[in-house]
């Protein structure tokens, strides 16, 4: 039989032909994954904005004090939920991520971006800012202030309060004297001339 | 009839029958290597973007935390690509006349998204989730490599199934303390195995290798 070897030899060709027909349908399924674009909508975004006048589940902002930091027209000077160590640590974490690039880890207004030419923000440790109520910090984060952009998109409302609480912590700590430290813990402090931890370390 | 081939060719024919196995084995090996190569997985190739955004500058130079821009990485499957507004937090004042940043300003004015080119792209039949990895102490650089040294972003790992499984089988080789997850300069200590086993117990890390973990 002459045909045999020929048939064998054509096998790779057939195999090749079959796989050329292969498609990537499972790789690229017709579904939306986050930020995938779609020409169905004029702006090309598959993530749709919330229609005007509607409230998404879980985003009802009925508690005005919590979401604006104001009681009537005045800023409140308390955190609208119980504050414990975890809240302060959370505030520290968020502060170091979102605020320290400009305000510095100590809140003195000497962050990295300021050193690269951004307008220098006031230090948190000036008298005026030590007197402002906590609700004011919440408001600055939510709505911005002057040359400072708002951080409403990046920080959830509860975390904004944690940051506000942490700013108070910074203010206390930067104006503390040795007498504020319980006597039995003074030994744990680094010596006076130890360099202060400053700037983003990462 | 006289012989067509000389006697000595017998050795050649025996050799080639025998050698065929090796040739076949070589071809299979070469195919497997090629499949896992950076060429096939598109790894380590810097991707051109509409704006030449540099992690080297922003992360390595300025020390901005990943979460400043990739805001949802801790609590969602998707790490998030920053909207133009986040760039403008700084670039409304810094480098605000640079031609390089013109697409950012145009996007901000016109409310039209910047179309970043995907660097990583798993097939749609694979489920991946950032939040669990971050919560269990797997650092960004374990998967994304030296991001603080990338002037243009590239994919460091192969993203093949074998790569995922290597870690899912032996998480103790890669896990780090939770406080170091976002630290781009973290180096695993010499006693990684020992520390790893301790953290695996502490964070209750399971070894997830069943198919339905990732194909669901």
Shortest Cα distance, chain A CAs vs residue B134, angstroms = 15
Q: A27 or B70: which carries more pLDDT confidence? A: B70
Structure tokens, B54: 């540099």
Kindly list the distances between the CA atom of residue B102 and the CA atoms of B84, B91, B95, B97, B116, in Å, as whole numbers in the listed order.
12, 11, 10, 8, 15
Rounded to the nearest integer, the mean pLDDT of chain A is 86
Subunit contact B65:A201, Cβ cutoff 8 A: no
pLDDT confidence of residue A200? 40
Closest in B62, B88, B111 to A101, CB measured:
B62
| Whole-number pLDDT of residue A3 | 57
Tally helices (H) and strands (E) across chain A: 8, 2
Q: What is the pLDDT of residue A119?
A: 92
pLDDT for A201: 37
- 10 Å CB burial of residue B120 (0-12, 13-18, 19+) is middle
The stretch B4-9 carries a mean pLDDT of 82
Tens digits of residue pLDDT in B11-24: 888 888 878 888 89
Q: In chain B, whose CA is at the least distance from the CA of A37?
A: B115
Task: Give the per-residue pLDDT at B18.
Answer: 79
Q: A170 in helix, strand or coil? A: helix
Contacts of B113 in chain A (CB under 8 A): 37, 43-45
- Residue B65 has, within 13 A of its CA and on its CB side, a CA count of 27
Q: Is the pLDDT of residue A13 over 70?
A: no
| Sequence spans of domains, chain A | 84-175
According to the model, what pLDDT value does residue A198 have?
45
Closest by Cα among A6, A29, A199 to A110: A199
Nearest CA in chain B to A147: B93
CATH number of A84-175: 1.10.760.10
Angle of helix B84-91 relative to helix B102-110, nearest 10 degrees, comes to 120
Average pLDDT over residues A74-86: 95
* A112·B83 Cβ contact <8 A: no
∠ CA B120-B40-B209, rounded to 5°: 65
Question: Has residue A87 got a pLDDT over 90?
Answer: yes
Q: A159-189: per-residue pLDDT in tens?
A: 999 999 999 999 999 888 888 888 888 888 7
Query: pLDDT tens digits, residue range B114-154?
Result: 999 999 999 999 999 999 999 999 999 999 999 999 999 99
Residue A145 forms beta bridges with which residues?
A: A148
- Domain extents for chain B? 11-41, 74-79+119-214
Alpha-carbon gap: B93 to the closest alpha carbon of chain A (Å): 6
User: A45-72, pLDDT tens digit by residue?
Assistant: 888 888 888 998 888 888 999 999 999 8
Rounded CA-CA distance B204/A47 in Å is 35
A35 touches chain B (CB under 8 A): yes
Q: Kindly provide the residue ranges of all beta strands, DSSP E only, lying in A54-194, ordered along the sequence.
A: 70-71, 74-75
Q: Quick check: A66 and B35 in contact, CB under 8 A?
A: no
The answer to whether A17 faces chain B, any CB pair under 8 Å, is no
Using a CB-CB cut-off of 8 Å, the residues of chain A touching B115 are 37, 44
**Structure tokens belonging to residue B50:** 């509409």
Answer whether residue B89 shows pLDDT above 90: yes
Contact flag B93-A147 (C-beta cutoff 8 Å) = yes
Distance from CA of A134 to the nearest CA of B (A): 23
- pLDDT for res A15: 67
């Amino acid at each position: 039989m002459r045909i045999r070897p020929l048939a064998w030899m054509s096998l790779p060709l057939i195999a090749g032909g079959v796989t050329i027909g292969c498609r990537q349908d499972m790789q690229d399924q017709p579904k939306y994954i986050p930020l995938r674009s779609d020409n169905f909508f004029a702006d090309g975004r598959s993530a749709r904005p919330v229609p005007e006048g509607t409230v998404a589940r879980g985003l009802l902002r009925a508690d005005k004090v919590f979401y604006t930091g104001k009681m009537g027209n005045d800023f409140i000077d308390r955190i609208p939920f119980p504050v414990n160590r975890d809240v302060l640590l959370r505030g520290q974490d968020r502060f170091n991520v979102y605020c320290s690039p400009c305000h510095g880890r100590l809140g003195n207004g000497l962050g990295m971006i300021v050193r690269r030419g951004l307008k220098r923000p006031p230090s948190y440790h000036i008298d005026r800012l030590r007197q402002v109520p906590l609700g004011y910090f919440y408001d600055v984060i939510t709505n911005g202030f002057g040359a400072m952009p708002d951080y409403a998109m990046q920080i959830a409302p509860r975390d904004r309060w944690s940051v506000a609480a942490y700013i108070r912590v910074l203010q206390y700590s930067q104006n503390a004297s040795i007498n504020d430290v319980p006597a039995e813990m003074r030994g744990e402090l680094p010596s006076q001339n130890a360099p202060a931890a400053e700037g983003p370390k990462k | 009839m006289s012989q067509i081939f000389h006697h000595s060719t017998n050795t050649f024919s025996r050799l080639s029958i025998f050698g065929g196995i090796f040739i076949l084995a070589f071809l299979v090996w070469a195919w497997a290597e090629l499949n896992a190569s950076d060429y096939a997985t598109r790894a380590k190739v810097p991707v051109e973007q509409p704006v030449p955004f540099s992690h080297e500058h922003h992360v390595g130079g300025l020390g901005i935390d990943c979460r400043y821009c990739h805001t949802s990485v801790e609590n969602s499957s998707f790490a998030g690509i920053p909207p133009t507004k986040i760039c403008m937090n700084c670039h409304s004042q810094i480098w605000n006349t640079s031609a390089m940043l013109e697409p950012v300003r145009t996007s901000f004015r016109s409310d039209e998204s910047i179309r970043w080119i995907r660097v990583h792209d798993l097939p749609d039949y694979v489920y991946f989730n950032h939040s669990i990895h971050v919560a269990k102490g797997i650092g960004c650089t374990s998967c994304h490599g030296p991001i603080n040294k990338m002037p243009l972003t590239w994919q460091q790992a192969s993203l093949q199934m074998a790569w995922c499984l290597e870690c899912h089988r032996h998480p103790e080789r890669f896990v780090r303390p939770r406080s170091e997850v976002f630290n781009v300069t973290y180096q695993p200590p010499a006693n990684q195995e020992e520390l790893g086993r301790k953290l695996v117990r502490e964070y209750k890390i399971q070894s997830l290798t069943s198919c339905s973990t990732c194909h669901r």
